Amino acid sequence: MRKWIAGACLLYVLYGLFFYWYLFKTGDSSVPEALKGTSADPATFMNKKELILTEDYSKIKDFIFFLRIPLEWFLFFILLIAGLSRKMTHWAEQTSRFKVVQIAAYVFVLFLIVTAASLPLDWISYQYSLGYGISTQPTASWIKDQVIDFWVSFPLTAGAVMVFYWLMKRSEKRWWLFAWLLTVPVTLFLFFLQPVVIDPLYNDFYPLKNKKLEYDILKLADQADIPANHVYEVDMSKKTNALNAYVTGIGANKRIVLWDTTLNKLNEPEILFIMAHEMGHYVMKHVYKGLAGYLFLSLAGLYVIAKLYKWIIRRYGNSLHIKGRTDLAALPLLLLLTGVLTFTASPFTNAVSRHQEKAADEYAVELTKNKKAAVAAFQELSKAGLSEANPPFLVKIFKYGHPTIMERIQNVEQNADK
């Protein structure tokens, strides 16, 4: 056990050293010679201080991102190999004779452990965001968001675990398929509820206050044959200086949302371009395609997880203190496998997302006929969020669901010139 723990610790340290070396020493984020002096070159729209801050902040932010990802995997492995998950199961079984209560108790303790272990990195990330002027969120508000995260995630996870273990007992061979069939309506339901139930827990949403701007946006929507009655804004300026807008929800709860920081920092043509981009997602049905893709990947993922889960327990069950597939003590193994597979699939899912975002950019330029506003909007997005225009390769493939700012500006200008 000590060798396994020592090996896991060494592996995590080596992983962290690799990304430190990659991000701070060798990762290439320089501007290609052919683009220097163009509108895609940060030196043309940022001053020297902003350039330095962007480089420093991006490296720190990306380093924390990569450290954060395998932290939970490491923690789950330690809980298994050290027998702590087994002890947690014994404690949970003593809390009640009802299995539902036992699972809820176990998941609650597991969530507390994961939250406590992750909190230092999350706190450091928050402090850096404050220090670099990205975050404006008071500490009390930040803590409130962490608490909300916990109480939103805990019941959803506990409910999923109860269903999964019940299905494992009912069908050892096809539990993963039945689990997936249940995730389809649940995912659609949660996606339907998110704009009106979950999102308002974190921020206040209200119809766009600027009625002239709302009229122009709805007029643009009418040009695109999009049925829309309201555009919403959200008070993100209480938490950040970054800019954003997005489409969320499905059916009657579908919303186009603008951050108030975007309203405060961009002019009307730039805002209309951002809105046209979001309309592009609607016209090209990216929300529904994304949901379909997620459900397909979750089916493949659950199948792979089921096979790996069975094999690992058969071969290493004794070492991990797991009695069988329906043993509650094996839950960290399920979560570890889910996390690893999700991360492994992220280059593919990010590539698909970048393709959709590029298509939405092209649609927005075609709809607004305003390349200048598009370029200016991208430049402001980069400045407000201290985002690198050309991040290192590994950062891009594992983290970026949008094309880089440099790619977006290049693409807009090339398509506008055709």
Q: Is 357 part of any known ligand binding site?
A: yes
The two counts, helices (H) then strands (E), for the chain are 14, 4
In the predicted model, is pLDDT for residue 418 greater than 70? no
**Range among 100-114, 189-203, 270-284 with highest mean pLDDT value:** 100-114
> Where in the chain are the domains?
2-27+48-202+286-416
Q: Does the predicted model carry a pTM greater than 0.85? A: yes
pLDDT number for residue 150: 93
- The answer to whether 93 is annotated as binding is no
- Angle at 394 (CA atoms; ends 126, 357), nearest 5 degrees: 80
287 SS3 class: helix
Q: How high is the mean pLDDT of the chain?
A: 92
Q: What is the pLDDT of residues 200-219, one digit of tens each?
A: 999 999 889 898 998 898 88
pLDDT in tens, 355-393: 999 999 999 999 999 999 999 999 999 999 999 999 999
The number of C-alpha atoms within 13 Å of 2 and in the hemisphere containing its C-beta is 0
Q: Is 407 annotated as a binding residue?
A: no
Residue 80, pLDDT > 60, answer yes
Predicted pLDDT of residue 176: 94
Per DSSP, the residues of 213-266 read HHHHHHHHHHHTT---S--EEE-GGGTBS---EEEE--GGG-EEEEEHHHHHHS
Residue 59 predicted with pLDDT over 70: yes
- The confidence band for 282, taking pLDDT boundaries of 50, 70 and 90, is confident
Burial of 51 (0-12, 13-18, 19+ CB in 10 A): middle
Q: Determine the Cα–Cα distance for residues 8 and 11; give it in Å rounded to an integer.
A: 5
The residues annotated with a catalytic role in the active site are 278, 361
